[in-house]
Copies of this chain bind each other. A is one copy, B any other.
């Protein structure tokens, strides 16, 4: 074991932890070592310990009290793949201990839990990163790279979202049992904003010279889960969440962002990405990029004999060779780990911050701004779609802040 390996504790040993640990095992051994694990459920602890044994790895210390794991002097940094209702409070406790925390994606229940996270980080020196793997998606990073090089011109509008039919995961013949299902049963808002919004926030320099100002949210009627429940003879019927939640965010620098959430209707997966500027556009659903001066513009003739112009999409992959982000130029030959390698890149960025003692590339202010979308969208929907304001979690620091990370 190399001295540079980051010593990790993992709190919460559910399915997401299994995926994360599988990714950790695929990394070189000098990246990290899991020295402690924690769950309220001892069966889960046993299951995870058995995975370590089966892979001939040192079995970590086991805790059922997460505060003891945080206090463990061996533990430098904590991964927190726990439930949506607990991970922010646990991360706030890690901040208080002055250590590094990595939280999983999700949204906040209230602005208060985000302020606590921010205050504890500012007051006690702990640092927080959201493991938003989609920020490390190949297309997202390539487009960020192209935007930084000015190829798309001045950016004026973006869209993003999370559209993923997971009704089969949330509803079955026993009703709703998973935490995520119960949140969807009780809440009406964008419950899962960061896969789409994280990469767009980075592209728009949110908290680094720009910020989210307001959000307006709208819910369609709720039919998808009910329809699926009928098919599988599930006793659940009425979900609070609309099938498609649409939000529009206004930014300080004048950009608009359209954000969509939909997990109950059958359709192909999409993160709905669109990044549009004065010189070009990336549109995920068209699998296309158009850049003025690079992509083709055809001249055609209408029925009255007048010419008109017609722009033609280039395939996204056409730009990989030349414009892949430096992270992917290195990684593309051997992408390993969960979610097409994105998990690996997010974890590596976290470990590097811990090793160097630097602020992670997705920091506590990013966590707060992105996760605020969930409770703010609930409020806007409850109020009939009026815009509600984002707090400035940086207390003005965004105006001068400059991101010196890969983003």
Contact of A269 with B by CB under 8 A: yes
Chain B hits for A286, CB < 8 A: 268, 270, 285-287
- A220 contacts which of B254, B260, B269, B290 (Cβ < 8 Å)? B254
> In whole angstroms, how far apart are the Cα atoms of A216 and B246 in the complex?
11
User: Are A265 and B253 interface neighbours, CB within 8 A?
Assistant: no
> How many chain-A residues does the 8 Å CB contact rule pick out?
71
Q: Which A residues are closer than 8 A to B by beta carbons?
A: 15, 18-19, 22-23, 26, 153-154, 156-157, 165, 168, 214, 216, 218-221, 223-224, 227, 242-244, 246, 248, 250, 253-256, 258, 260, 262, 265-270, 276-281, 283, 285-288, 290, 292, 302-306, 309-313, 337-339, 343, 384-387
User: Are B311 and A227 interface neighbours, CB within 8 A?
Assistant: no
Query: A219-B256, A227-B278, A256-B246 in contact; A311/B269 too (CB < 8 A)?
Result: yes
Chain B hits for A253, CB < 8 A: 221
User: Are A338 and B153 interface neighbours, CB within 8 A?
Assistant: no
Chain B hits for A290, CB < 8 A: 266-268
User: Are A224 and B278 interface neighbours, CB within 8 A?
Assistant: yes
Chain B hits for A260, CB < 8 A: 258
Q: Residue of B at shortest CB range from A311? A: B268
Q: Whole-angstrom distance from the CB of A338 to the nearest CB of chain B? A: 4
Q: Whole-angstrom distance from the CB of A51 to the nearest CB of chain B? A: 10
Q: Whole-angstrom distance from the CB of A265 to the nearest CB of chain B? A: 6
User: Are A266 and B244 interface neighbours, CB within 8 A?
Assistant: no
- Pick the 8 closest A-B CB pairs, nearest first: A221-B254, A157-B244, A303-B338, A227-B278, A220-B256, A285-B285, A266-B292, A268-B311
Q: Residue of B at shortest CB range from A387? A: B385
> In whole angstroms, how far apart are the Cα atoms of A248 and B249 in the complex?
13
- A246 contacts which of B153, B242, B258 (Cβ < 8 Å)? B258
- A22 contacts which of B278, B281, B303 (Cβ < 8 Å)? B303
Chain B hits for A283, CB < 8 A: 267, 285
Chain B hits for A156, CB < 8 A: 220-221, 223-224, 242-244, 265
